[in-house]
Amino acid sequence: MGKDAELLKKLKDSSLKEHAFSELLDRYQERLYWHIRKIVITHENANDVLQDTFIRIYKGIHNFQEKSSLHTWMYRIAFNESIRFLEKNRKKRYDNIDAISESNLEVLFEDEYFDGDEIQIKLTKIINEFTQKQKQVFQMKYFDNLSFRQISEILEVPESTLKSIYYKTVKIIEEKIVL
Amino acid sequence: MKIIKEDNKQFLKKDSERDLFTHHKKYLGTEVPEGYFLKSKNQILNKINTDIILEEVNEVKKHFVFWIRPPYKYIAAASLVFILSLTIWLQKPYEEDILKEVNTDLLMFSDTVLIESLLVEENEVDAFADITLFREILVKSELFEQKIDNLVFENLILEDSLIHNYLDDGLIETIIL
């Protein structure tokens, strides 16, 4: 996090901003991409959302009040941009996304950058059967390797609730994969 | 996915200092085109530069349209309000203006009198008030008298002309008959 503080200082200095932003991209681009990809499913959509996310970060960095870490703040922007993208494209509230999980899978299987075998498809299907909250928590914790505190800041859910959700999802996956 | 099968129940418990691409490919089967992140980085930087240039162009445009800028907007709005007020004020009847002027004068006058009255003797204030009231009554009665005179005079003229007309017509008719 020390490196982030230094980077943030440069980002807020207009003479160093360009160079610092390039460094920020090197450091976080891939992590944010995978976070977005799991929400918007296809590579093409993830690419669009990633660009919008970084543009928003670039424009908003001066207003970042450092109440959370830079990392968490960027994740939150990426998450919000992904939700906005889904809402715009599907013209539905994100709360209803559980109802269209089947179509999510179809979209994923049609994506040219998905090459899952039987077990990967099985895992994807299990995750897809989770409620939206379970899915977000599991993906952020397991795939994005975020701490419960960070997830709590992003989703605005108490850490204890997150822990309970995560362990429940892990249990479900373990049972279903073994079977 | 052999890895998952081999790892069996342990795959979720492994610690995670890992390559994200491999990790996602390994468990979810998702991948990205070759050299994607480098290409994407350049695209983002180009897009940001384009956005900055566009914003600068918009700023320049805003400078050209000077009358839309806030300070000019306020001045224009204030001028408009002033012109409207002036128009309404000028459209009011003349007599009302005179009355208002008189009333304002009287008000100012009475204020002065009241303030001054605190500093002078009571009998002097009474005498001053008497004179002022006398003057006001005198002016009002004078104006009233003038109005009555005008009214009577106008009526007389009107009646005379009608009588004359009547008499003229009557005389002519009498003469003809």
Please give the share of chain A, as a percent, with pLDDT higher than 70.
82
Task: Give the number of residues written for chain B.
Answer: 177
Better pLDDT: A50 or A13: A50
Question: What are all long-range contacts of A133-141, with beta carbons under 8 Å and residues at least 24 apart?
Answer: A133/A157, A133/A165, A134/A165, A134/A168, A134/A169, A137/A162, A137/A165, A137/A166, A137/A169, A138/A165, A138/A166, A138/A169, A138/A170, A138/A173, A139/A35, A139/A38, A140/A35, A140/A75, A141/A166
Q: How high is the mean pLDDT of chain A?
A: 82
Least reliable range by pLDDT among A63-67, B20-24, B144-148: B20-24
What are the residues of chain B with a beta carbon less than 8 Å away from any beta carbon of chain A?
Answer: 1, 4-5, 8-9, 11-12, 16, 18, 20-21, 23-25, 27-33, 37, 40-41, 43-45, 47-48, 51
Banded model confidence at residue B9, pLDDT cuts 50, 70, 90 = very low
- A114 DSSP β-pair partners: B30
Other C-beta atoms closer than 10 Å to the C-beta of B11 total: 18
Name the closest residue on chain A to residue B12, using Cα atoms: A170
Confidence (pLDDT) at B15: 43
Chain position carrying tokens 């299990």: A126
Region of B39 please: left (phi>0), alpha (psi -120 to 50) or beta.
Answer: alpha
For the ranges A75-89, A103-117, B88-102, B115-129, the one whose mean pLDDT is highest: A75-89
- Binary contact (B12, A142; C-beta < 8 A): yes
Chain A residues touching B47 at Cβ < 8 A:
51, 55
Task: Compute the average pLDDT of residues A101-111.
Answer: 64
Select from B15, B24, B28, B38 the residue whose CB has the most chain A CBs within 10 Å, as the one to mutate to test that interface: B28
Q: Which two tokens stand for residue B48?
A: 């940001």
Separation CA A54–CA B47 (nearest Å): 10
Query: Where is A65: in which H helix or E strand?
Result: none
Q: pTM score, two decimals?
A: 0.55
Sequential DSSP letters for B105-163: HHHHHHHHHHHHHTTS-HHHHHHHHHHHHHHHHHHHHHHHHHHHHHHHHHHHHHHHHHH
Confidence (pLDDT) at A83: 87
